[in-house]
Amino acid sequence: MTLRPTDSSSLLIDGKLVPGSGGTFDVINPATEEVLGAAADATSADMDAAIAAARRAFDDTTWSRDHAFRARCLRQLRDALLAHIEEFREITIAEVGAPRFFTSGPQLEGPVADLGYFAGLADSYSWAQDLGVSTTMGIKSHRRVLKEAVGVVGAITPWNFPHQINFAKLGPALAAGNTVVLKPAPDTPWCAALVGTLIAQETDFPPGVVNIVTSSDHALGAQLSTDPRVDLVSFTGSTATGKAVMTAAAQTLKKVFLELGGKSAFIVLDDADLAGACGMAAFTVSTHAGQGCALTTRLLVPREKYDEAVEATAKALRGLPAGDPNEPGTICGPIISARQRERVEAYLRLAVEEGGTIVVGGGRPSNHERGFFIEPTLVSGLDNSARVAREEIFGPVLVIIPHDGDDDAIRIANDSPYGLSGSVWGTDPARVQHVVEGVRTGTLGVNGGIWYAADAPFGGYKQSGIGREMGVAGFEEYLETKLVAEPAS
Ligand code: NAD
């Protein structure tokens, strides 16, 4: 079967592909500003039907008990995606503005393969553990711990890495035996809608187990957070929205799982290869136009080498121009929308108002009349108290800040409301380890080590989130624990 454009304008509700009650809304190519086509625009009534279907599928079927069947369905989905991987690649580049090179990693192929990891967990996980016999008030009891699905999961996702984030929720939630209502971001509905088409047409997922509800209306996310039939909300997005989700979910005491924003530090120690480290920091912040929550956006360098580091970083950034994501050599594609680009540009103005210097970049590239592009930008001359050093910009903007030694670098890295990720560069293993232990973040790369993998738990300290995604830890977020005690002789 070939995926048709109309497949992307359907909702998946209760096993059926249906139109949105609100009609359709436009999907825009951020690299050209052209309308790519239409996505189904769900209303609150559609969301209500999706939640009802997920509830029924959880309560009235054997889905949550049949581990082998779930593993089989997830592998079917992975294989269907693999069979259509080139169609998905082109749609991802067009809809997300994702650089082509990145679709062979975390923008597409990585997350598709990760579904196999979660299927494997459904097969291999210890669903029951024997706690042995205990005696309480003279009564002997034999205890077992059972691990069970939480129930109906509301999954709310952003636009920057749609496949990675959609599958990092669908994979473990379904493998664990939950049913899911997925609400993707309005900017990237097709990446999710086409998964719904494949689920309906090429897999044996029972009706209601997966529901995919695209909408131009953010309020449908809020609906998932408040509806009493939803047991767990798994949210990825901005910290501000995460707080709103947690507040709303408190009314029905749902479990909440939050992956939020970041302002991660790239720490260069004084014994590191300065030019190599600065080159990698420049590459990282330019990747996908800086639209990654875990990308490092503060570059901390030894004060005595500050000028040298500014020069090396600027040189590297000049070699990473913003450009057409279709080109295999493009690292920095467009920003997702005009609104997001305006937000980034407001921060560039703020950097200057705060006394910073734009060393390179600082605005729209002159060679692109259309497309929401921003040149990779380096801001110098500010310390960590500047707003551009504290707030998430979500664009290709790097702030370079001097530090006075390893402990000062740790202090600056931690002087942030966020704690998502980071990078440490140095040659002395003891000093590197000291910094690794001092930095309060959920992931850290050392000298270029890559932490992203299916089995690697990812998530944030502080206001970067609650819980972990991926790995066994990410799978267990979607489980409840039941203790069963029986008389023992
Ligand atoms: P956003 O918070 O605006 O939206 C995320 C999702 O929440 C969308 O689907 C949106 O429709 C929905 N939503 C909006 N208002 C809602 C509400 N009141 N209740 C429930 N749902 C609501 O984020 P965005 O602009 O789509 O994405 C960018 C942000 O996401 C950045 O801050 C980035 O750091 C963060 N992010 C975090 C991670 C992570 O894993 N930590 C990954 C990717 C992106």
Indicate the domain borders of the chain: 5-260+465-487, 264-453
* Atom 31 of ligand 1: nearest residue by CA position: 238
Task: Locate the ligand 1 atom nearest the alpha carbon of residue 458 and give its number.
Answer: 40
- Mean pLDDT computed over every residue of the chain: 97
pLDDT above 70: percentage of residues in the chain: 99
Q: Would the CB of 459 count as within 6 Å of ligand 1?
A: no
Residue 9's pLDDT is what?
A: 83
Query: pLDDT category, 98, cuts 50, 70, 90?
Result: very high
Any atom of ligand 1 within 6 Å of the Cβ of 42? no
Q: Give 215 Cα–ligand 1 centroid separation in angstroms.
A: 14
Residue range 382-391: mean pLDDT, rounded: 98
Give residue 7's pLDDT: 67
Choosing from 293, 336, 347 the residue with most ligand 1 atoms within 8 A of its CB, the one to mutate for a pocket test is: 293
Per the CB < 8 A criterion, the answer to whether 226 and 197 are in contact is: no
**CB-based contacts of 74, cutoff 8 Å, min separation 6:** 115, 116, 118, 119, 122, 171, 174, 175
Question: Does residue 376 contact residue 399 with C-beta atoms inside 8 Å?
Answer: no
Structure tokens at 140: 């002997």
* Pocket lining: 176 vs ligand 1, CB cutoff 6 Å: no
Q: For residue range 9-37, list pLDDT tens digits in order.
A: 899 999 999 999 999 999 999 999 999 99
**Residue 86, C-beta contacts closer than 8 angstroms, at least 6 positions apart:** none
Q: How far apart (Å, rounded) are the C-alpha atoms in residues 325 and 336?
A: 12
Ligand 1, pocket-test mutation among 44, 102, 156, most atoms within 8 A of CB: 156
Atom 32 in ligand 1: residue holding the nearest Cα: 238
Q: Whose CA is nearest to atom 21 of ligand 1?
A: 221
Q: Is residue 350 within 8 Å of 397, Cβ to Cβ?
A: no
How many whole angstroms separate alpha carbon 52 and alpha carbon 58? 10
Whether the CB of 465 sits within 6 Å of ligand 1: yes
> 317-354: per-residue pLDDT in tens?
999 999 999 999 999 999 999 999 999 999 999 999 99
Q: Which two tokens stand for residue 15?
A: 């096993």
Q: Which residue in this structure is represented by tokens 């690697």?
A: 456
CA of 464 to the centre of ligand 1 (A): 12
Q: How confident is the model at residue 307 (pLDDT cuts 50, 70, 90)?
A: very high
Instruction: Give 378 Cα–ligand 1 centroid separation in angstroms.
Output: 26
Which CATH code of 3.40.605.10, 1.10.10.60, 3.40.50.300, 3.20.20.140 fits the domain covering 5-260+465-487? 3.40.605.10
What pLDDT does 130 receive?
98
Query: How remote is the CA of residue 483 from the centroid of ligand 1, in Å?
Result: 36
Is the C-beta atom of 293 inside 6 A of ligand 1? yes
* Ligand 1 midpoint to CA 8 (Å): 21
What is the distance in A from the centroid of ligand 1 to the CA of 158? 5
Q: What confidence tens digit (pLDDT) does each residue in 120-167 have?
A: 999 999 999 999 999 999 999 999 999 999 999 999 999 999 999 999
What is residue 82's predicted lDDT score, i.e. its pLDDT? 98
Instruction: Tell me how far the alpha carbon of residue 173 lies from the centroid of ligand 1, in angstroms.
Output: 19
Give the relative orientation of helices 406-414 and 429-438 as an angle to the nearest 10 degrees: 20
Ligand 1 center–CA 357 separation, angstroms: 30
The residues annotated with a catalytic role in the active site are 259
- pLDDT of 489 reads 87
Contact 371, 30 (CB under 8 A): yes
| pLDDT confidence tier of residue 6, bands split at 50, 70 and 90 | low
| Backbone region of residue 447 per phi and psi (left: phi > 0; alpha: psi in -120 to 50; beta: other values) | left
In this structure, which residue's CA is closest to atom 8 in ligand 1?
185
User: Does the C-beta of 227 come closer than 6 Å to ligand 1?
Assistant: no
Q: Is 37 in the pocket of ligand 1 (CB under 6 A)?
A: no
For residue 4, what pLDDT band results from cuts at 50, 70 and 90? low
Residue 214's Cα: distance from chain center in Å? 18
Residue 103 has pLDDT above 80, yes or no: yes
Task: Locate the ligand 1 atom nearest the alpha carbon of residue 183 and give its number.
Answer: 9
pLDDT band of 291, cuts 50, 70, 90 = very high
- Substitution candidate for ligand 1 out of 215, 227, 232, 238 with most atoms within 8 A of CB: 238
Residue 1's pLDDT is 62
Q: Could you read off the pLDDT of 210-244 as tens digits, one per residue?
A: 999 999 999 999 999 999 999 999 999 999 999 99
pLDDT interval class at 8 (50, 70, 90): confident
Residue 57 buriedness (CB in 10 A; 0-12 / 13-18 / 19+):
buried
**What pLDDT, in 10s, does the model give residues 271-286?**
999 999 999 999 999 9
Q: How far apart are CA 117 and CA 298, in angstroms?
A: 33
What ligand 1 atom has the least distance to the C-alpha of 240?
A: 2
The answer to whether 424 and 449 are in contact (CB under 8 A) is no
3-state SS track over 259-316:
ECCCCEEEEECCCCCHHHHHHHHHHHHHHHHHCCCCCEEEEEEEHHHHHHHHHHHHHH
Return the CATH fold of 264-453.
Aldehyde Dehydrogenase; Chain A, domain 2 (3.40.309)
Q: Say if ligand 1 is within 6 A of residue 260 CB.
A: yes
How far apart CA 79 and CA 334 sit, in angstroms, is 30
Cα 208 to ligand 1 centroid, rounded to whole Å:
25
Task: Dump pLDDT digits (tens) for 435-480.
Answer: 999 999 999 999 999 999 999 999 999 999 999 999 999 999 999 9
Ligand 1 pocket mutation pick from 212, 218, 254 by most atoms within 8 angstroms of CB: 218
